[in-house]
Amino acid sequence: MRELIAYCGLDCEKCEARTATLNNDDGLRKSIAEKWSELNGVTITPDMINCEGCRVNGAKTPYCDSLCPIRQCAMKRGADTCGSCPEMENCDDLAMIINNNPEARKNLLKK
């Protein structure tokens, strides 16, 4: 599995936060923070938008680092991704992602 596929199957390579981090783009950080604040109903500041990828060493957003229940579960289980978990199809947390993003499910099912 590609290193930039997150535990949930999302492609970190396509994430705007990763792009902003790699390019040190404060304008993009600001627009992402505004968009994510509105989408999630919480205050997200541009300085929180630093992430190099879910499963790679380096910076993570506060949510991805310590709040994401999917990442926390997979790390606790020692799973490469949720695709290797026998409970994948019945996981309510994962369902929020794969029901809204068919590509994530496909990424998890790739061997």
Task: Provide the number of structural domains found in the chain.
Answer: 1
| pLDDT(111) > 70 | no
| pLDDT(1) > 90 | no
**Is position 1 within any domain?**
no
Indicate the residue type of 97: I
Element (H, E) at 87: none
pLDDT value at residue 2: 85
**Is position 5 within any domain?**
no
Angle at 69 between CA 97 and CA 72, to 5 degrees: 120
- The alpha carbons of the chain give a radius of gyration, in whole angstroms, of 14
Question: In the numeric block, which tokens belong to residue 50?
Answer: 């630093």
d(CA 104, CA 45): 26
**Is position 7 within any domain?**
no
**Is position 2 within any domain?**
no
- Residue 64 belongs to what domain range? 12-109
pLDDT, tens only, 9-33: 999 999 999 999 999 999 999 999 9
pLDDT, tens only, 51-61: 999 999 999 99
